[in-house]
C-alpha cells in the first residue's frame, strides 16, 4: 500500500553513497489517504544515520536526571507510543505528571502539540519532557555534556550531521527524525478506505462507521480522527486543569483540550487529558449520559450523544478498525 504513496525525496548524494547496499534508505511516505504534511523534513534532511541517532536518544534513559526514564518509558510502542495504564505520566523519582501521555502518531501532520496546543513545533516538543521536574528532570545542557562524553554518541552525531559538534539543535533534529517518522496509516480502516487487499468492514463495523460519521466526526475528523481544534466535551462542571486558556489567556478557552486522535484507540487507554477513563465503555457512557454543563461545553454536546447499547457496540467495533498492528509491531521503531 505504501507503494501508492508519494515518497518525499531527499537529494543528498553524499549520504546516499555511504548507506550500504543492503540497508534500505529510510523514507518518509505520505499515505494516499492523507493530505500533505506540515513537517516535511525540509530543514532537517532525513537520513538513516540521523534516524538511528534519534531512535537511540529516544530510548536512552541515561538522558534523565536519575537515569531511569527515557522518552520510550512514557511513549511505549506497544501502546502506540503512549504510556499504558498510566492515568497521568510517570517520570523521574516516581513523580506523577498532571496529564495523560498522548500517543505519538502522525505528528508530521500536527501544527501544535500537547493537550493545550502550547508547543508549536515538533522539533521543540521534547524540551518540556526533558526539563520538567516531573518528567526527565534534567536540562538540555546536561544532556549535551553527557553525550559529548559518551561513546558512541560523538561518532553517531558525526555520521548523522557531518560534524562531531553536539548541541541542542542537533539533538532535537535527530529526535524529530524519529518522532516525525511515526506514521500510522495501515489500520483496517485505512485499507478499507484505500480499497486495498479486498478489505471490507463487517456489518457491525460499517454500522459503527455510519454512526461515527453522524455523531463523532464533527470533532474526530478523518483521516486523523481529530480536527486539531480545542474543545470541551463536558468531563467536569469545573475543570481542574485550565487547558487551552493556559496558553491563550482567553476565558472562553478554559477547560478546552485538543480533540485527540482515535487512531490505535484500542491500545491507548486510559483516556482523556487526565486519563480518567480506562475503557471505551466508560468513554461512550460519558457521551451518552455523563456530559456535564461545563462553562465552555461544546454546543453540539449540550444534550450529550444518546447511544443505545447496540449502537455503543457498533461504535466500539468501528473504533477497533483504527488499530494499526503493523505500526505497533514495526521493528523500525522498536528499541533494539
Partner 1 sequence: MKITTYLLALLCPALLLTSCKKNNNETTPETKSTFTIEFDNQVNGSPLTLNTTTYKNAKGEDFKINVFKYYVSNIKLSKADGSSYLIPESYFLIDASKTESTNITLKDVPTGDYTKIEYTIGVDYARNFAGAQTGALDPANGMFWTWNSGYIFVKLEGSSPQSTAANNALTFHIGGVVDPNNTIRTFATEINATNPLRIRTDGKPNMHFIVNAAALFTGKTDVSFATLNFTMGGPNSVIVANNYANGLFRLDHIHN
Instruction: List residues near partner 1 by CB under 8 A.
Output: 43-44, 114, 118-125, 127-128, 130-132, 139-141, 144, 167-169, 171-173, 176, 246-249
| Contacts of range 310-314, beta carbons closer than 8 Å, 24 or more positions apart | 311/211, 312/281, 312/284, 312/288, 313/204, 313/208, 314/204, 314/205, 314/207, 314/208, 314/211
Cα–Cα distance between 101 and 80 in angstroms, integer? 11
134 belongs to an annotated ligand binding site: no
Please tell me whether residue 321 binds ligand HEC under the rule CB under 6 A.
no
* Residue 246 beta carbon to partner 1: minimum distance, rounded to whole angstroms: 8
One residue of 5, 77, 138, 179 binding ligand HEC per CB under 6 A: 179
3-state helix, strand, coil in the chain (%, to 5): 40, 5, 50
Alpha carbons 256 and 233: distance in angstroms, whole number: 8
The reply, when asked if residue 325 is annotated as ligand binding, is no
Phi, then psi, of 67 in degrees rounded to 5? 55, 30
Q: What is the CA radius of gyration of the chain?
A: 21
Position 107 contacts ligand HEC (CB under 6 A): yes
216 annotated as ligand-binding: yes
Distance CA 85, CA 89 (A): 10
95 is in an annotated binding site: no
Q: How far apart are the first and last CA of the chain?
A: 26
| Pick 103 or 126: Cβ nearer partner 1 | 126
Q: Closer to partner 1 by CB, 96 or 202: give it.
A: 96
CB of 174 or CB of 268, closer to partner 1 = 174
Taking the C-alpha atoms of residue 324 and residue 270, their distance in angstroms, rounded to an integer, is 18
Which one of residues 30, 53, 65, 69 is an interface residue with ligand HEC (CB under 6 A)?
A: 69
**Residue 17 grid coordinates:** 553513497
Q: Which of ligand HEC, partner 1, none does 44 bind, CB closer than 5 to 8 A by kind?
A: partner 1
Q: Which residues are annotated as a binding site?
A: 71, 74-75, 216, 219-220
Binding site for ligand HEC (CB under 6 A): 58, 69, 71, 73-75, 89-91, 97, 99, 101-102, 104, 107, 110, 113-115, 125-126, 129-130, 135-136, 175, 179, 215-216, 218-220, 231, 233, 235, 257, 259-260, 262, 265, 268, 271-273, 283, 287, 298, 300-301, 305, 315
Q: Which residues are annotated as a binding site for heme c?
A: 71, 74-75, 216, 219-220
Amino acid at each position: 500500500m505504501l507503494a501508492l504513496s508519494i515518497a518525499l525525496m531527499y537529494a543528498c548524494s553524499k549520504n546516499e553513497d555511504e548507506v550500504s547496499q543492503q540497508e534500505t534508505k529510510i523514507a518518509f511516505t505520505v499515505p494516499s489517504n492523507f493530505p500533505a504534511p506540515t513537517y516535511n523534513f525540509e530543514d532537517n534532511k532525513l537520513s538513516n544515520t540521523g534516524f538511528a541517532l534519534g531512535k537511540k536518544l529516544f530510548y536512552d534513559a541515561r538522558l534523565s536526571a536519575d537515569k531511569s526514564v527515557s522518552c520510550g518509558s512514557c511513549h511505549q510502542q506497544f501502546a502506540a507510543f503512549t504510556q499504558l495504564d498510566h492515568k497521568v505520566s510517570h517520570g523521574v523519582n516516581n513523580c506523577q505528571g498532571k496529564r495523560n501521555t498522548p500517543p505519538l502518531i502522525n505528528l508530521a501532520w500536527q501544527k501544535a502539540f500537547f493537550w493545550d496546543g502550547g508547543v508549536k513545533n515538533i522539533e521543540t516538543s521534547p524540551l518540556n519532557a526533558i526539563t520538567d521536574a516531573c518528567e526527565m528532570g534534567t536540562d538540555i545542557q546536561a544532556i549535551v555534556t553527557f553525550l559529548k562524553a559518551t561513546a558512541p554518541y560523538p561518532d553517531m552525531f558525526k555520521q548523522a550531521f557531518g560534524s562531531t559538534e553536539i548541541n541542542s539543535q542537533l539533538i532535537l533534529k535527530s529526535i524529530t527524525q524519529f518522532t516525525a517518522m511515526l506514521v500510522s496509516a495501515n489500520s483496517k480502516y485505512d485499507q478499507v478506505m484505500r480499497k486495498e487487499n479486498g478489505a471490507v468492514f463487517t456489518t457491525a463495523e460499517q454500522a459503527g462507521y455510519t454512526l461515527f460519521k453522524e455523531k463523532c466526526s464533527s470533532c474526530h475528523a478523518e483521516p486523523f480522527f481529530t480536527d486539531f481544534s480545542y474543545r470541551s466535551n463536558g468531563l467536569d462542571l469545573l475543570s481542574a486543569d485550565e487547558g487551552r486558556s493556559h496558553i491563550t489567556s482567553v476565558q472562553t478557552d478554559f477547560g478546552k483540550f485538543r480533540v485527540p486522535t482515535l487512531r490505535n484507540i484500542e491500545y491507548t487507554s486510559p483516556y482523556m487529558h487526565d486519563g480518567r477513563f480506562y475503557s471505551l465503555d466508560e468513554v461512550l457512557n460519558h457521551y451518552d449520559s455523563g456530559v456535564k454543563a461545563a462553562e465552555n461545553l461544546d454546543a453540539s454536546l449540550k444534550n450529550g450523544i444518546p447511544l443505545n447499547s447496540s449502537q455503543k457496540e457498533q461504535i466500539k467495533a468501528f473504533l477497533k478498525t483504527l488499530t494499526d498492528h503493523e505500526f505497533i509491531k514495526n521493528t523500525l521503531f522498536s528499541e533494539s
